[in-house]
Amino acid sequence: MEPFEALLHAYKNAVERFVYFRLPSTTDAEDLIQDIYLTAYQNFSMLKEQSAFKAWIISIARNKCNDYFRKQAKMLEIPLDAISEKVLSYGRQGVTETSTVYETLELLGGRDRQILYLYYFRSLPQSEIANRLQIPIGTVKSRLHTAKQRFKDKYPYAPEHKGEMIMNKLPEYLPVYSIKPSDKQPFAVKWEELMGWFLIPKCGEKLTWGIYDLPSRKCDRIYDMRVTGRAEIHGIEGVELTAKESDYTKKSEIVDRTFVAQLTDTHCRYLAAMQTENGIKKYVTFLDGDAFMPNWGFGEHNCGNETNLKKKGEILRTGQQIKSVEKPFLLDIVGRYDVTINDKTYDTVCVMDIETYNPGIVSEQYLDQNGRTILWRRFNRDDWAFDRYQKTWSEQLPNNEQLTVNSKNYVHWYDCITDYIL
């Protein structure tokens, strides 16, 4: 095998993941990938170090993607007199917008919106803004200062202070709750929370949630989460989130986690996660294959979980008996339920997830009509992690609730609630 062919074979998955992530059209992505390979082949002799092949071909892919979007941008150009329109960022699964920022911009006058847009979104230097608007640069400085102050005054969230930690008080023990099937048809819902972490990845969002062991009902772990700002991974825009994890009774023992995630008009997905090894912070991203996908990936090409949920009929539930089709990334609404917790009753739909991100695990997630989690419950297949525990879960937790999913037994392990319901 020729050196180019061998290197391309080793890294083509990373190239294809990169392109499929960025382009909204699969057909366009496929055409662009072939163009990238052709360009790389034609210029391979210019590569001095073959050890740098991955970075080199990804840089070609990035440039090709940028060229693609420059052509698309001609159709999306936002005129100065229509600056109130939202600035859009396109990815494979649709349109991304940082809604809180743009909603605040809507509250400003036209001149303020205009100059903030040119300075922050177009990244134009003040001299170029002065030329474009045909005003003195001193006037640009003055208008920019005034516009920034007016934006701060209207922005609904206070600025974060470095090192700040606000841990909302969750109850030490899980409140008693009831789940009753409803005769009403399940409603469709807009679900924008990060799968498994409950926070919506939009600027200004924050949330506290806890894990409650069963049957003790005692809180084991607590997570204080917030979106810290905008971020970009491999040219794809999202937001950075932090999670401070601690033992409920030892809140001084804190583990800091950092993620990057993206919310589009149709999907929500992780782009990167940070982990610390031997005191070194290491990021794993969507281009890192098996190092990323088992824990953070979901959907074809990690498109993420759907945000527009409605009952598909792929998972059918009757009481504790569940049957489903056989397919990867299986997640569906299975019914409508009245969930009563803390003496308040919520009208919810139950979203079930059958072994989508971890073999042997089933979850129930009860969402209200705002798309927010009221209650999340985890069930382990009876033989899940048997080598580690040396017992089945029905032996370990004989009094816990059980489900039968496609003729296999699953045992209720723990629940999660968030401060949304407090």
What is the SS3 string spanning the chain? CCHHHHHHHHHHHHHHHHHHHHCCCHHHHHHHHHHHHHHHHHCHHHCCCHHHHHHHHHHHHHHHHHHHHHHHHHHHCCCHHHCCCCCCEEECCEEECCHHHHHHHHCCCHHHHHHHHHHHHCCCCHHHHHHHHCCCHHHHHHHHHHHHHHHHHHCCCCCCCCCCCCCCCCCCECCCEEEEECCCCCCCEECCCCCCCCCCCCCCCEEEEEEEECCCCEEEEEEEEEEEEEEEECCEEEEEEEEEEEECCEEEEEEEEEEEEEEECCEEEEEEEEEEECCEEEEEEHHHHHHCHHHHCCCHHHCCEECEECCCCCEEEECCEEEECCCCCCEEEEEEEEEEECCEEEEEEEEEEECCCCCCEEEEEEECCCCCEEEEEEEEECCCCHHHHCCCHHHHCCCCCEEEECCEEEEEEEEEEEHHHC
Higher pLDDT, residue 357 or 341: 341
pLDDT digits (tens, 9 = 90+) for 73-99: 444 344 434 444 344 444 444 444 444
Q: What is the domain partition of the chain in residue ranges?
A: 3-76, 81-154, 177-421
pLDDT surpasses 50 at 369: yes
What pLDDT score does 7 carry?
A: 92
Question: 177-421 in CATH: which number?
Answer: 2.40.360
pLDDT surpasses 80 at 158: no
pLDDT surpasses 90 at 404: yes
Higher pLDDT, residue 295 or 377: 377
Structure confidence at residue 107 as a pLDDT band (50, 70, 90): confident
Q: 81-154: what fold?
A: Arc Repressor Mutant, subunit A (1.10.10)
What pLDDT score does 98 carry?
A: 44
Q: 3-76: what fold?
A: Rna Polymerase Sigma Factor; Chain: A (1.10.1740)
CA–CA dist 227, 240 (Å, integer): 6
Candidate ranges 130-134, 280-284, 330-334; pick with highest mean pLDDT? 330-334
Range 220-235 average pLDDT: 90
pLDDT surpasses 80 at 238: yes
Range 106-134 average pLDDT: 79
What pLDDT score does 251 carry?
A: 60
CA–CA dist 205, 226 (Å, integer): 6
What pLDDT score does 85 carry?
A: 39
What pLDDT score does 301 carry?
A: 77
How large is the angle between the packed helices 26-42 and 3-22, nearest 10 degrees? 150
Q: Which of 174-188, 205-219, 230-244, 271-285 has the lowest mean pLDDT?
A: 271-285
pLDDT surpasses 80 at 279: no
What average pLDDT does the structure give for the chain? 84
CA–CA dist 417, 393 (Å, integer): 23
CA–CA dist 286, 302 (Å, integer): 8
What pLDDT score does 102 carry?
A: 60
Range 248-262 average pLDDT: 79
pLDDT surpasses 90 at 116: no
What pLDDT score does 283 carry?
A: 84
CB 205 within 8 A of CB 227: yes
Give the rounded percent of residues in the chain with a pLDDT score beyond 90.
45
Buried b / exposed e across 403-417, counting CB within 10 Å, b at 16+?
A: bebeeebbbbbbbbb
What pLDDT score does 80 carry?
A: 39
pLDDT surpasses 60 at 4: yes
pTM for the model stands at: 0.67
Higher pLDDT, residue 90 or 191: 191
Q: Which of 84-93, 156-165, 298-307 has the lowest mean pLDDT?
A: 84-93
What pLDDT score does 64 carry?
A: 87
Structure confidence at residue 100 as a pLDDT band (50, 70, 90): low
What pLDDT score does 152 carry?
A: 79
Range 212-234 average pLDDT: 91
pLDDT digits (tens, 9 = 90+) for 48-76: 888 889 989 998 998 888 777 666 544 43
pLDDT digits (tens, 9 = 90+) for 30-43: 889 999 999 999 99
Higher pLDDT, residue 272 or 235: 272
Range 184-206 average pLDDT: 93
pLDDT surpasses 90 at 200: yes
Cα separations in angstroms, 23 against 28, 91, 98, 235, 301: 7, 6, 19, 11, 12
